[in-house]
Amino acid sequence: EQAGKGGYDHFMLKEIHEQPTALAQAIEGRVDSETPAIRLEDFRNGTFDGVENVQLVACGTSYHAALYGSLALNRAGVRATALLANEYSASSPPIDDGTLVIAVTQSGETADTLNALRRANADGARTLTVTNVVGSTAARTADDALFIRAGPEIGVAATKTFSSQVVMLLLLAQRITDDARGEPAADLDALLSELRRMPDRLDALLSWSDAEAIARRYDGSQSYFFIGRGLGFSVALEGALKFKEITYGHAEGFASGELKHGPLALVTPETPVFAVFTGREDEKTLKNAEEAQTRGAPIVAVCPDGHRAVDVADAHLEIPETHPALAGLFANVQLQLVSYHAASLLDRPIDKPRNLAKSVTVE
């Protein structure tokens, strides 16, 4: 097992560091930033013809990737909703000819997600899975499969697969709208050229990240809150999930605008607030972060250098300036590192947290 860790103390840290390679593999041959064009695999004829609404179903970290993807689809003009797979039959969202159901699942074996996928098939939806495992049950059950090519992920807490799922969903969103409109999205070239640069820039971030110092600084806090808006909201949810999974500490992710509708009652000097800035609606998030700061909470701004939030915040986790659709991914990697180092200080069994399994094959 030690050999498999490639010199890292844990698989999780190794997998965090594998993200530049995983992303490069995910986009290999699929992105042409010159033309600009997206060349995803050849899906069955008509997979995306007449798609009017997309339902993304997933659990855990994959659900947060689905949430990120649903926003990208909405912004590209396609109606999309992310649903927890285990709530899918209870919520019974209507399915018609124009419905595409996308099951997002790293393993392709999560029972809740497979159940939702089977229900979608039975109700006549077109189905697609975004998965890491070729030959998985999800890949065999859905009409089509899009593989994220992240390589094996051993740590129970998903890291590199989240990043690769998000990137594939961003590309898929462009492809679906392209098929619907017959012309590429307006800023496709900007997105694709930033995507091409992403592996190198992530590599750099992993070398200069201050996440360990931040984890030390706030070690022993009562609770950890993560806030963000839009794509930053899904990153806030994922940041909190990662933190609870491996540190066993109390962490919550909130839409930044929701703080004032209840969670603010929990905010004290003992509850650091990580605020994620993705370039859109940052002013509002900053205002919400300041409301928490007024109640004594230390604010950690996750944003580029030179951002206004840096002057206001108590601490800074830097991310590079990039396309707004990708900023959340850099922020998420910084938060993965914070959780990892916080768990490491507590000497937690990071790769195999208590009570959790890599893949949950029961309902």
* Site residues for ligand G6P per CB under 6 A: 59-62, 105-107, 110, 113, 156-158, 356-360
7 token code pair: 């010199």
The least CB distance from residue 68 to ligand G6P, in Å, is 14
Could you tell me the smallest distance in angstroms from the CB atom of residue 62 to ligand G6P? 4
Give the single-character DSSP code of 260. Answer: G
Nearer to ligand G6P, 81 or 359 (CB): 359
- How far apart (Å, rounded) are the C-alpha atoms in residues 290 and 277? 13
The span from the CA of 206 to the CA of 314, in Å, is 22
Of 69 and 263, the one with the shorter C-beta distance to ligand G6P is: 69
- Residue 129 Cβ vs ligand G6P, minimum distance, rounded to whole Å: 10
CB-wise, 312 or 360, nearer to ligand G6P? 360
3-state secondary structure labels for all residues of 323-355: CHHHHHHHHHHHHHHHHHHHHHHCCCCCCCCCC
C-alpha to C-alpha distance for 252 and 260, rounded to whole angstroms: 14
Distances in Å between the Cα of 204 and the Cα atoms of 50, 164, 199, 208, 330 are 42, 18, 9, 7, 11
Nearer to ligand G6P by Cβ, of 53 and 110: the residue is 110
Cis peptide before 272 (omega within 30 of 0): no
Question: CA distances (Å), 298 to each of 39, 78, 302, 313, in order?
Answer: 45, 38, 13, 7
Task: Quote the CA–CA distance of 66 and 64 in Å, as a whole number.
Answer: 5
Residue 355 beta carbon to ligand G6P: minimum distance, rounded to whole angstroms: 10
Question: Which residue of the chain is nearest ligand G6P when measured via CB?
Answer: 60
Of 158 and 292, nearer to ligand G6P (C-beta) is 158
- In the bound complex, what is the minimum distance in angstroms from residue 116's beta carbon to ligand G6P? 11
Continuous segment of H or E residues that includes residue 299: strand 299-303
> Judged by CB, which is closer to ligand G6P: 107, or 334?
107
**In the complex, minimum distance from the CB of residue 312 to ligand G6P, in angstroms, rounded to a whole number:** 33
51 phi, psi to nearest 5 deg:
-70, 120
Backbone φ and ψ for 254, nearest 5 degrees, come out as -130, 150
What minimum distance in Å lies between the beta carbon of 65 and ligand G6P? 8
Residue number, 130 or 299, with CB nearest to ligand G6P: 130
In angstroms, rounded to a whole number, what is the distance separating the alpha carbons of residues 301 and 128? 36
Using the minimum distance from each CB to ligand G6P, give the nearer residue, 318 or 351.
Answer: 351
Q: How far is C-alpha 298 from the chain's CA centre? A: 25
Q: Minimum CB separation from ligand G6P for residue 356, in Å?
A: 5
Q: Are 221 and 51 contacting, i.e. CB atoms less than 8 angstroms apart?
A: no
d(CA 209, CA 133): 30
Smaller CB distance to ligand G6P: residue 66 or 275?
66
Which residues make beta-bridge pairs with 55?
Answer: 81, 101
Q: What are phi and psi of 140, to 5 degrees?
A: -80, -20
